[in-house]
A and B are shown apart, each in its own frame.
Chain A
Amino acid sequence: GQNIDQPTEMTATEGAIVQINCTYQTSGFNGLFWYQQHAGEAPTFLSYNVLDGLEEKGRFSSFLSRSKGYSYLLLKELQMKDSASYLCAVRDSQTGGFKTIFGAGTRLFVKA
């Protein structure tokens, strides 16, 4: 089966660090994406992992462990504008990569 799990909601304080976890089970793996989606807007790309390890991009980092079916998104120096939903998505290799499965998203609330 295909399944992606991530927490429904998280709350963190401005300036802090937050880690959003994602676990997945898919029939084939061809990369993991993180997207950010502000309320009423379209998802926008944050990061991509296909090999195990950490990818860093400014205040955002993403980690992948393929053997564990696990990823996390790390947000540092949180800002109020980081309040949004964060979507974990896995590209399925069995469909030639033409199918990307999204998790339900984690709503992050950043408080002052």
Chain B
Amino acid sequence: DTAVSQTPKYLVTQMGNDKSIKCEQNLGHDTMYWYKQDSKKFLKIMFSYNNKELIINETVPNRFSPKSPDKAHLNLHINSLELGDSAVYFCASSQDPGVGNTEAFFGQGTRLTVV
């Protein structure tokens, strides 16, 4: 059973389009995240959610809109895609990060290419 699954794995689309990436975790975690990994492999946090509530929005353009319909899901919708949005997007989840070792479990990533 996949712990954190995200779809699609690959996404190629034209500039200006709107696209969504879905993420689901079956670990019973309260906290979910979206990360962006650029061509230099730098992994940068975009959003953190806890119990469906947005906790961290790391100065991401408002073209990116996360939605958490329940604790097990955190989807990412991107409007008006730009060339610079091309990257690998990782969803992750963890237990409440307040205390202790709350390692993040990552999905397999979505490689987004904007042409």
Q: Are A and B subunits of one complex?
A: yes
Q: Chain B residues with Cβ under 8 A from A30's Cβ?
A: 97
Is B43 a contact of A43 with CB atoms below 8 Å? yes
Instruction: Flag if A42 contacts B42 (CB, 8 Å).
Output: no
Q: What does the 1/0 interface line of A27-52 toward B look like (CB < 8 Å)?
A: 00011010001000111110010100
What is B's interface to A at a CB cutoff of 8 Å? 31, 35, 40-45, 48, 50, 55-56, 58, 90, 97-109
Let me know if B103 and A48 touch, CB within 8 A: yes
Which residue in chain B gives the minimum CB-CB distance to A99?
B56
Q: How far is the CA of A24 from the CA of B23 in the complex (A)?
A: 31
The 7 closest A-B pairs by CB, nearest first: A97-B97, A42-B106, A45-B103, A48-B101, A98-B48, A102-B43, A98-B55
> Which residues of chain A have C-beta atoms less than 8 A from B100's C-beta?
50
Q: Is A96 an interface residue (CB 8 A)?
A: yes
Interface contact B106-A44, CB-CB below 8 Å? yes
CB pair B44–A102 under 8 Å, yes or no, is yes
**B42 and A102: CB pair below 8 A?**
yes
Cβ-closest chain A residue relative to B107: A42
- Chain B residues with Cβ below 8 Å from A50 are 100-101
Determine if A99 and B45 form an interchain contact, defined as CB atoms under 8 angstroms apart: yes
Establish whether residues A99 and B48, one from each chain, have CB atoms under 8 Å apart when the complex forms: yes
